[in-house]
Amino acid sequence: MMTLELVCARFGRLQPEELRDWVAAGYVRADSEAGELRFQDIDVERVRLILELREDLAVNEEALPLVLSLLDQLYALRRRLGER
């Protein structure tokens, strides 16, 4: 598990307040231990995905929830198809 500060350090362009906003909006999951946010590896990769969507693919803030929802649906469908 990584702290908020470590995640932001890994992605130098990410500010702690922005990551807190993503957690509050439900874009990224985090556990809270003693009032400090902690992120599992899969959640750190979600942060990487969001940064790539915004910076490399120019997905704006208004479209981000829709794109993330569609990707989540796609991954869930792939999991279900893989179980057959």
Q: What backbone phi and psi angles, to 5 degrees, belong to 2? A: -115, 145
> What is the model's pTM?
0.89
| Model pLDDT, residue 84 | 73
| 37-77: pLDDT as tens digits | 999 999 999 999 999 999 999 999 999 999 999 999 999 99
| 17-44: pLDDT as tens digits | 999 999 999 999 999 988 899 999 999 9
If you classify domain 2-82 with CATH, what class do you get?
mainly alpha
d(CA 76, CA 32): 26
CA dist list (Å): 70 to 8, 13, 31: 25, 25, 24
> What are the sequence ranges of the domains in the chain?
2-82
| Model pLDDT, residue 27 | 96
